Amino acid sequence: MNIKVVKRFAPAFVQKAWDDHRKEASYRRMSALQPSDYESALKKWYRHRTGLELNLDDPRTFDEKMQWLKLYDSTPEKGRLSDKYLVRDWVAQRAGEGCLVPLLGVWDSPEQIDFDALPDRFVLKATHGCGWNIVVEDKAALDRSETVRRLGAWLETDYAFVDGLELQYRFCEPRIIAEAYMENTPGDLHDYKFFCFDGKVACIGFVRGRLSVSEEACFDRDWNKLPCTYYTHPRIAGDVPRPAMLDEAVSLAETRAEGFAHVRVDLYLPADGTVRFGEMTFTTLSGVSLWKPASYNDYFGSLIDLESLPAWKEMHGS
């Protein structure tokens, strides 16, 4: 029987098992690569994900430049700042500890976690990847053994090879942290993603709906709504009130972004009126961002100045 027919009509759990198998196989292939194979493997991965040929000699779009940065500018510094635990000290030195989400614990192994000592609501995160989070709204309902299993699986995985060679994650230190639970409205915490280019905010991605249907919208630094999105969520149709702490958030993001051709600084503006640091992301969605309309892929790509980077100058003799 044709495999596409099987996948189309298979039950959801069969489809998930198939997807998990493919992801595991891809991880094994990527993690076994030699550095000399990274470029060809990334081109193949990019073609598979986008249907496009990757131009590394003269990258123009946002997504193409993300691929170049992954290959040639994944520095130990970027790895340290991508690490959700190590970055905290760096941020505190520059902006004070008041902008950090309160830390409830840090562990090298999930078996070390004393769940009884944690509050009723908290968030668990793996420090060396993206999206490896467990939001606990009711500790009494938490399946602790399954949580330990998931956290352990994450700690055994090198995120650099999970999805398209995000090589800066090689320099992270795998750990688990627990942070305080925050929210804007009951059950929902809004994400504010500040896309910074050469230290300046040019776009703010806004996502709401953590536990329900997520929606997104993009704004400029003054909170004027832009006619674009960068992910797969539905675009918010109506107005979104300007956050009261927007100016402080823009300033904090730009302070964190200084010295980088591009970085996305994620912040929270919870209901208590504070501005809290979330994380720094150097390769948004691994460079397959799905900008709509596509012209914004070109526009934001034009804001990334690769030619000023030492790696570019070394490669191009300038």
The domain segmentation of the chain, as residue ranges, is 13-316
Pairing of β 122-126 and β 200-208? unpaired
Instruction: Show the tokens assigned to 276.
Output: 């809290």
pTM of the model as a whole = 0.90
- 29-33, long-range: CB < 8 A, 24+ apart: 30/161, 30/162, 30/165, 31/158, 31/161, 33/161
Cα-based angle 267, 261, 32 (whole degrees, multiple of 5): 90
Query: Rounded to 5 degrees, what are φ and ψ at 74?
Result: -85, 85
Whether residue 13 has pLDDT greater than 60 = no
* Residue pLDDT, tens place only, 111-134: 999 999 999 999 999 999 999 999
Whether residue 161 has pLDDT greater than 80 = yes
Query: What is the percentage of the chain residues whose pLDDT exceeds 90?
Result: 80
